[in-house]
Amino acid sequence: MKENILIKADNIDGLTYLGDELKLKGAIDLVYIDPPFATNCDFTITENRASTISNSKKGEVAYTDRILGSEFIRFIRKRLELIKILLSDKGSIYLHTDYKIGHYMKVMMDEVFGIENFRNDITRVKCNPKNFKRTGYGNIKDMILFYSKGPRPIWHEPLEKYSDADLARLFPKTDKSGRRYTTVPIHAPGETNNPKKFKGLTPPSGRHWRTDVETLEQWDREGLIEWSPSGNPRKIVYASERAGKRVQDIWYQFKDPQYPVYPTEKNMDLIDRIVKTSSNRDSTVLDCFCGSGTTLKAAALNGRNWIGIDQSDFAVEATLKKLASAGIAPTDFKMIEL
């Protein structure tokens, strides 16, 4: 039986343990990690509120981010090589990073996972516009690098709801009962020989009917074809038939919590989308820089198994609280200290 596991350890030891002792090589379907970003800062935590202010004098240090430059790239690379061994053939990894170090990470990840497995560089808008007095443009985004282990990763197409503006733009017409719709051609590029006639019409030159003529006849009987005054037929597509629009690679709606319980805590809904899209219900999700356990909670709430690793006492404490807030008791998972 699969287990949920929280490991307090340096993640080199934790990842090695998962592979060698727990025999989980090739068993993890999804990894989300949000490691330090080589900021040369300490991140502190106070009694009631986490601080993301670098070098804050208040509170105790939850974690330090002092490994820099090429040493930092080597630090992450070692962990990614172990993660790759744990990933299943249909597995994916999302690495959260920033605009300063992210491009070096991209080049290194191309080497570890293969450029052919690079899927996206997702822009995550992390905060509202800022008015810092620095020479340069304000930075409101970070990046999430998404790779798969192989050519056919788990993928449950996420869809976004249409906004009112989208509906007005994409479905500009309304029928008698007020339903929004648009129309699309019933023919597509590419010629066929001797096409069948539909209502005495053949497709325009260089085009073919989108579907067989019997289906076109049926659409017409059901009132799903709109005829223009000049006799041009088009298929009616109702807004209500469409579940939503394809998600693009700029994500605006997942800003960080305003009052984090842990420094640099990430938005739960951000990870919820990743979990839903890139794992199955029987998948195991791993975060080996788990901080306050945001990934673990998102995985648990979606019915996935999860494994978290962090070396910080504060992180483990915050994770236990966050899991408890989702109704997950310490008896529901295995706690290991290496």
Ligand X SMILES: C[S@@+](CC[C@H](N)C(=O)[O-])C[C@H]1O[C@@H](n2cnc3c(N)ncnc32)[C@H](O)[C@@H]1O
Residues that bind ligand X (CB under 6 A): 10-11, 34-36, 63, 262, 264-266, 289, 291-292, 294, 309-312, 315
Q: What sections of the chain are H helices per DSSP? A: 11-20, 69-86, 102-113, 164-170, 213-221, 268-278, 294-301, 313-325
Residue with tokens 């282990």: 149
Radius of gyration (Cα) for the chain, nearest Å?
25
**How near is the Cβ of 272 to ligand X at its closest, in Å?**
12
Q: Smaller CB distance to ligand X: residue 236 or 323?
A: 323
Q: Calculate ∠ Cα 60-62-65, nearest 5°.
A: 115
Q: Smaller CB distance to ligand X: residue 148 or 292?
A: 292
Residue 299: HSE in the Cβ half-sphere, 13 Å Cα cutoff: 27
Q: Smaller CB distance to ligand X: residue 112 or 239?
A: 112
CA dist., res. 56 & res. 27, Å (int): 40
Sign of CA dihedral 192, 198, 200, 204: negative
Which residue is at the shortest CB distance from ligand X? Answer: 291
**How near is the Cβ of 169 to ligand X at its closest, in Å?**
35
Return the DSSP state at 198. B
Q: Smaller CB distance to ligand X: residue 24 or 316?
A: 316
Q: Smaller CB distance to ligand X: residue 92 or 97?
A: 97
**How near is the Cβ of 302 to ligand X at its closest, in Å?**
16
CA dist., res. 254 & res. 239, Å (int): 26
Q: Smaller CB distance to ligand X: residue 147 or 314?
A: 314
By C-alpha distance, which of 281, 289, 314, 285 is closest to 297? 285
3-class SS shares of the chain: helix, strand, coil, % to 5:
30, 30, 45
**How near is the Cβ of 311 to ligand X at its closest, in Å?**
4
CA dist., res. 332 & res. 338, Å (int): 20
Q: Smaller CB distance to ligand X: residue 10 or 121?
A: 10
**How near is the Cβ of 146 to ligand X at its closest, in Å?**
16
**How near is the Cβ of 89 to ligand X at its closest, in Å?**
26
**How near is the Cβ of 8 to ligand X at its closest, in Å?**
9
